[in-house]
Amino acid sequence: MALGRDFVWHVRRFVFARHCVLLDLDDAHALFCERRQKLHRLNDAAYFIWAALQSGASGADAVDALCGQGLSSDMARAFVEQAVLDWLKRGFLRPLDLPASGEVTSLWCRLPVGAVRLILRGPCDHALIVSQLNGFANCPSEDAVARFEVIVGNDAALFLRNDEPVGLYACNEISPQIKSMLAEEVAGRLQGGFLAHGAFLSKGDHRLLLNAPPGTGKTTLALALSLQGFRYGGDDIIYVSAEGLAQGLCFSAAVKPSGWPLLEGRVPGLQSAPIHTRGDKRRVRYVLPPLLESGGLAAINTVIRLERHKGAKAHAAPLSPLEALCAVLESGWSGEHRASRTLMLGLAQTLARGRHHTLVYDDLDEAVAVVRDLVR
């Protein structure tokens, strides 16, 4: 059974995304998505269906119209279902009149660039999703920068941003997609700063950035440190302001299957946590530690670059401030594709006052002991 069929057949009318435009090219037709900067060619049947829906027809009406062109009922229904599901998944259109049954939850997520309101509708585990966002202060605000809506049907969830369609996702993709949308909101509103890849932790006056390529155990080490008195500020994205100060985006830690046995018995509830599927198709379990970093923007005292080698005895080697700066910038992303003089001056001055290290390790407990010694 196709995922999200109820979003095709239980709808009387569809609304088309403002960021999507139909192009007529002599005897050919295509859709251009401004948001994704992609062009999608339409065959004759798809163009006919698009035109029917744009005129106010429902999916069932489009089937009748195709039957009037000589197609069998089964073939017409298959064409309509395939086309509409594809457009829903790509965020080209949304149902106008699909009220979700069940619970409705509204919460606010406080981001470095402002507050986002999130509304959940329909039969999903509202409490679980809310708990995974507890790293963001749930403070109602009159000046929300955006409103996200998640409408859950029988087996799929439709995502909207400010009433514009984002896409249709499987129910086990809801939490990863919320994270992705929140991260995109921050990235799209950066004013002179940038986003860096890494885990953010604090201990006393120390602010630590764990820098590592994928598969080095960054998330696993961050969670292990959070059980040893370190405050958790996120395992993935770090916001660096225009002044060179930093703040972690406190999403729940996404633990991949390789980390499940390492953290078994250490992190309560990990083994029973539901498995989610990210946009890159990787399976993850989400965990939010009890001690959270909530101090806002602060100077980074310590950058720890991770290198994991099988059989290596855990040890730390000095990392110069210039090397630490390069490590932070290598994973950096800015919508402006540039860093300002002010930012670089602030970040350089901050890192010059800190102590930075390369941590070589294999055993998790040994690595935790070394990091604890470094900030003691």
Give pLDDT, residue 175.
94
Amino acid at 156: A
Cβ neighbours of residue 17 closer than 8 Å, sequence gap 6 or more: 33, 35, 91, 92, 93, 94, 164, 165
Burial class of 230 by CB neighbour count within 10 A (0 to 12, 13 to 18, 19+): buried
pLDDT band at 24 (very low <50, low <70, confident <90, very high): very high
Amino acid at 254: A
User: What's the mean pLDDT in 109-135?
Assistant: 92
Which tokens hold the place of 323?
Answer: 């090397």
pLDDT band at 81 (very low <50, low <70, confident <90, very high): very high
Q: What is the pLDDT of residues 276-288, one digit of tens each?
A: 999 889 999 999 9
State the pairing for strand pair 206-211/302-308: parallel
Q: What is the pLDDT of residues 225-238, one digit of tens each?
A: 999 999 999 999 99
pLDDT band at 97 (very low <50, low <70, confident <90, very high): confident
Give pLDDT, residue 369.
97
User: What's the mean pLDDT in 165-191?
Assistant: 93
Which tokens hold the place of 265?
Answer: 């018995």
Which H helix or E strand runs over 28? strand 28-33
Give pLDDT, residue 80.
97
Choose the weakest-confidence range: 8-17, 127-136, 218-227, 288-297.
288-297
Give pLDDT, residue 213.
82
**Cα–Cα dist 275/291, whole Å:** 23
CA 157 to chain centre: 15
Query: Which has more pLDDT, 2 or 197?
Result: 197
The fold of 104-188 is Sulfite Reductase Hemoprotein; domain 1 (3.30.413)
Give pLDDT, residue 293.
87
Judged against a pLDDT cut of 90, whether residue 73 lies above it is answered with yes
Q: What is the pLDDT of residues 295-308, one digit of tens each?
A: 789 999 999 999 99
The pTM for the full model equals 0.91
Judged against a pLDDT cut of 90, whether residue 338 lies above it is answered with no
Which tokens hold the place of 197?
Answer: 């890849």
DSSP-derived 3-state class of residue 55: coil
Of 80, 83, 84, 85, the residue nearest 65 (C-alpha)? 80
* Domain covering 6-95 in this structure, CATH number: 3.90.930
Give pLDDT, residue 296.
86
User: What's the mean pLDDT in 329-358?
Assistant: 90
**Cα–Cα dist 154/122, whole Å:** 9
Give pLDDT, residue 1.
53
Domain ranges of the chain: 6-95, 104-188, 194-374
Give pLDDT, residue 99.
59
Give me the chain's average pLDDT, please: 92
User: What's the mean pLDDT in 248-268?
Assistant: 92
CA atoms within 13 A on the CB side of 50: 24
User: What's the mean pLDDT in 68-84?
Assistant: 95
* Angle at which helices 59-67 and 44-54 cross, to 10°: 130
Cβ neighbours of residue 330 closer than 8 Å, sequence gap 6 or more: none
Q: Are 190 and 333 in contact (CB under 8 A)?
A: no
